[in-house]
Amino acid sequence: MSHQSELIASDIDAYLAQHERKELLRFLTCGSVDDGKSTLIGRLLIESKMVYEDQLAALEKDSQTHGTIGDRLDPALLTDGLDDERQQGITIDVAYRYFSTAKRKFIIADTPGHEQYTRNMATGASTCDLAIILIDARQGVLTQTKRHSFITSLLGVKHIVVAINKMDLVDYSQEVYERIREEYIQFAARMSSDDVHFIPISALDGDNVVVRSEKMPWYDGNTLMHMLENVYIASDSNFQDFRFPVQYVNRPHLDFRGFCGTVASGTIKKGDEIMVLPARTTSRVKSILTYEGEIEEAFTPLSVTMTLEDEIDASRGDMVVRVGNQPRVGQRMDAVVVWMGEEPLVPGTRYLFKQTTKVVPGSVQSLRYRIDVNTLHREPAPSLALNEIGRCEIQLDDNIMFDAYKRNRGTGSMVIVDRITNVTVGAVMILDEMQASESQDHWDAEPASASLKGEPSQVTDEEREARFGQRGATVLITGLTGSGKRLVAHALERQLFDSGRACALLDGPKMRLGVSKDLGFTPEGRSENMRRAAECARMLNDAGLITVASFLAPKKDVRDRAREVVGSDRFIEVFLDVPLEQCRERDTNGMYELADSGEIQDFPGVTSPYEEPVAADLTLTPHTESLETCVEKILELLKQRGFIR
Residue 461, domain member (yes or no): no
Q: Mark whether 315 and 359 lie in a shared domain.
A: no
388 has a pLDDT exceeding 80: yes
318 has a pLDDT exceeding 90: yes
Number of domains into which the chain is organized:
4
Average pLDDT over residues 308-318: 92
Task: Identify the pLDDT of residue 466.
Answer: 87
Q: Mark whether 196 and 260 lie in a shared domain.
A: no
Question: Three-state secondary structure along 414-438?
Answer: EEEECCCCCCEEEEEEECCCCCCCC
Q: Mark whether 213 and 268 lie in a shared domain.
A: no
294 has a pLDDT exceeding 60: yes
Task: Identify the pLDDT of residue 86.
Answer: 41
Q: Mark whether 48 and 78 lie in a shared domain.
A: yes
Of 67-71, 93-97, 355-359, 514-518, which range is least confident? 67-71
For 547-559, the pLDDT digits (tens) are 999 999 999 989 9
386 has a pLDDT exceeding 70: yes
**Confidence at 82, pLDDT banded by 50, 70, 90:** very low
Strand extents, DSSP E, 437-554: 473-478, 503-507, 546-550
Q: Mark whether 43 and 98 lie in a shared domain.
A: yes
Task: Identify the pLDDT of residue 87.
Answer: 46
**Confidence at 565, pLDDT banded by 50, 70, 90:** very high
Task: Identify the pLDDT of residue 609.
Answer: 85
Burial of 137 (0-12, 13-18, 19+ CB in 10 A): buried
Q: Mark whether 263 and 390 lie in a shared domain.
A: no
Task: Identify the pLDDT of residue 289.
Answer: 94
Residue 628: φ, ψ to 5°: -60, -40
CATH of the domain at 475: 3.40.50.300
CA-wise closest residue to 233 among 488, 12, 24: 24
Question: In sequence order, what are the residues at sequence separation of 6 or more whose Cβ sits closer than 8 angstroms to the Cβ of residue 219?
Answer: 174, 177, 199, 200, 208, 213
Q: Mark whether 213 and 64 lie in a shared domain.
A: yes
What percent of the chain has a predicted confidence (pLDDT) above 90?
44
| Helices of type H across 48-171 | 53-66, 83-88, 118-125, 143-154
Residue 443, domain member (yes or no): no
Q: 138: how many CB neighbours lie within 10 A of its CB?
A: 11
- With beta carbons less than 8 A apart as the criterion, state whether 387 and 116 touch: yes
Q: Mark whether 203 and 284 lie in a shared domain.
A: no
**Confidence at 538, pLDDT banded by 50, 70, 90:** very high
Q: Mark whether 304 and 336 lie in a shared domain.
A: no
Residue 415 belongs to what domain range?
329-430
Spatial separation of the C-alpha atoms in residues 567 and 561, rounded to whole Å: 10
**Which tops the pLDDT comparison, 403 or 451?**
403
Task: Identify the pLDDT of residue 89.
Answer: 43
Residue 174, domain member (yes or no): yes
Task: Identify the pLDDT of residue 175.
Answer: 94
Residue 529: φ, ψ to 5°: -65, -40
Q: Which of 322, 356, 376 is the last residue of a domain?
A: 322
**Which tops the pLDDT comparison, 34 or 81?**
34
CA 238-118-43 angle, to 5 degrees, is: 80
Residue type, 288: I
Burial of 246 (0-12, 13-18, 19+ CB in 10 A): buried
148 has a pLDDT exceeding 80: yes
- With beta carbons less than 8 A apart as the criterion, state whether 58 and 49 touch: no
Question: Three-state secondary structure along 311-336?
Answer: CCCCCCCCEEEECCECCEEEEEEEEE
Of 72-76, 264-268, 590-594, 635-639, which range is least confident? 72-76
Average pLDDT over residues 278-304: 92
Quick one: how far is CA 376 from the chain centroid? 18
Average pLDDT over residues 455-467: 86
Average pLDDT over residues 229-254: 88
Question: In sequence order, what are the residues at sequence separation of 6 or more whose Cβ sits closer than 8 angstroms to the Cβ of residue 328?
Answer: 401, 402, 403, 602, 607, 608
**Confidence at 210, pLDDT banded by 50, 70, 90:** confident
For 199-208, the pLDDT digits (tens) are 999 988 888 9
- With beta carbons less than 8 A apart as the criterion, state whether 300 and 239 touch: yes
